[in-house]
Amino acid sequence: MKHRSLAIFLAAAILTCSLCACGGTTPETPASSDEIVPSSPAAPANEITVGIAQDLDDSLDPYQMTAAGTREVMFNVFEGLVKPDSDGNFVCAVASDARISDDGLTYTFPLREGVVFHNGAPCTADDVLYSFETCAATSVTSALVTALSAAHVSAEGNTVTVTLDAPNPDFLSYVASVYIVPKDYAGQAAQPVGTGPFKYVSRSVQENVILEKNGDYYGTPASLDRVTYRIFEDNNALFTALNGGALDLVAHLTVDQVNNLTNGYTVLEGTMNLVQALYLNNAVAPFDDQLVRQALCYAVDVPAMMELTAAGHGVRVGSSMYPAFGKYFDASLADAYPHDVEKAKELLAQAGYADGFSFTIIAPSNYAPHVDAATVLAEQLKEVGVTAEVQLVDWNTWVSDVYGNRNFEATVCGFDASSLTASAMLARWVSDNGKNMINYNNPAYDEAYAKAQDPSLSEAEQTEQYMECLRLLSETAANVYTQDLADFVAINPALEGFTFYPLYVIDMSLLHFAA
Partner 1 sequence: MKKKTTGINSFLISGAVLSALMLGLILLGLVWTPYSPTAMDGAAKFQPPSPAHLLGTDNFGRDIFSRVLQGADATFLIALCVVAVSCTLGVLLGSLCGYYGGLADLILTRICDSITAFPAVLLALVIVSLTGRGKANVIFALSLLFIPSFARLTRGEFARCRELNYVKSARLMGVSTGRILFRHILPNTLPVLLPAVTIGFNNAILSEASMSFLGIGVQPTEASLGLMLSDSQTYLQSAPWYALCTGGAVVLLILGFSLLSEGLQRRKDG
Binding site for partner 1 (CB under 8 A): 1-2, 4-5, 8-9, 11-13, 15-16, 19-20, 22, 256, 259-260, 304, 307-309, 365, 368, 371-372, 374-376, 378-379, 382, 388-392
CB count in 10 Å sphere of residue 338: 12
Q: How far is the CB of 256 from partner 1 (least distance, A)?
A: 6
- Between 40 and 236, whose beta carbon lies closer to partner 1? 236
- Between 18 and 142, whose beta carbon lies closer to partner 1? 18
Q: How far is the CB of 313 from partner 1 (least distance, A)?
A: 13
Q: How far is the CB of 240 from partner 1 (least distance, A)?
A: 10
Nearest CA among 414, 384, 392 for reference residue 481: 414
Q: How far is the CB of 491 from partner 1 (least distance, A)?
A: 22
Q: How far is the CB of 69 from partner 1 (least distance, A)?
A: 21
- Between 19 and 42, whose beta carbon lies closer to partner 1? 19
Q: How far is the CB of 338 from partner 1 (least distance, A)?
A: 18
Q: How far is the CB of 383 from partner 1 (least distance, A)?
A: 11
Nearest CA among 488, 481, 271 for reference residue 373: 481
d(C-alpha 276, C-alpha 430), whole Å: 19
Q: How far is the CB of 239 from partner 1 (least distance, A)?
A: 10
- Between 346 and 379, whose beta carbon lies closer to partner 1? 379
232 within 8 A of 117, measured Cβ to Cβ = no
Looking at the DSSP bridge assignments, the partners of residue 360 are: 389
Treating both helix axes as pointing N-terminal to C-terminal, what angle do 290-299 and 368-381 enclose, rounded to 10 degrees? 100
- Between 64 and 360, whose beta carbon lies closer to partner 1? 360
- Between 4 and 42, whose beta carbon lies closer to partner 1? 4
- Between 173 and 257, whose beta carbon lies closer to partner 1? 257
d(C-alpha 232, C-alpha 414), whole Å: 24
d(C-alpha 314, C-alpha 258), whole Å: 14
Q: How far is the CB of 253 from partner 1 (least distance, A)?
A: 13
Q: Output Rg (C-alpha) for the chain, integer angstroms.
A: 25
- Between 87 and 389, whose beta carbon lies closer to partner 1? 389
- Between 11 and 515, whose beta carbon lies closer to partner 1? 11
- Between 7 and 450, whose beta carbon lies closer to partner 1? 7
| Backbone phi and psi for residue 428, each to the nearest 5 degrees, phi listed first | -70, -15
d(C-alpha 348, C-alpha 354), whole Å: 6
Q: How far is the CB of 293 from partner 1 (least distance, A)?
A: 21
DSSP label of 404: I
* Cβ contacts of 100-106, under 8 Å, gap ≥ 24: 100/172, 103/167, 103/455, 104/164, 104/167, 104/168, 104/169, 104/455, 105/163, 105/164, 105/166, 105/167, 106/161, 106/162, 106/163, 106/164
CB count in 10 Å sphere of residue 294: 22
User: Measured between alpha carbons, how far is residue 169 from residues 41, 322, 337, 417 in Å?
Assistant: 46, 20, 32, 16
**Coil/strand/helix, residue 280:** strand
**Coil/strand/helix, residue 98:** coil
**Coil/strand/helix, residue 468:** helix
Q: How far is the CB of 296 from partner 1 (least distance, A)?
A: 16
| DSSP H or E run through 198 | strand 198-204
Q: Classify residue 355 as exposed, middle or buried by CB count within 10 Å of its CB (0-12, 13-18, 19+).
A: exposed
- Between 115 and 374, whose beta carbon lies closer to partner 1? 374
100 within 8 A of 107, measured Cβ to Cβ = yes
- Between 255 and 511, whose beta carbon lies closer to partner 1? 255
DSSP label of 334: G
Q: How far is the CB of 235 from partner 1 (least distance, A)?
A: 9
Nearest CA among 343, 311, 315 for reference residue 330: 315
d(C-alpha 259, C-alpha 128), whole Å: 47
- Between 61 and 301, whose beta carbon lies closer to partner 1? 301
Q: How far is the CB of 421 from partner 1 (least distance, A)?
A: 36
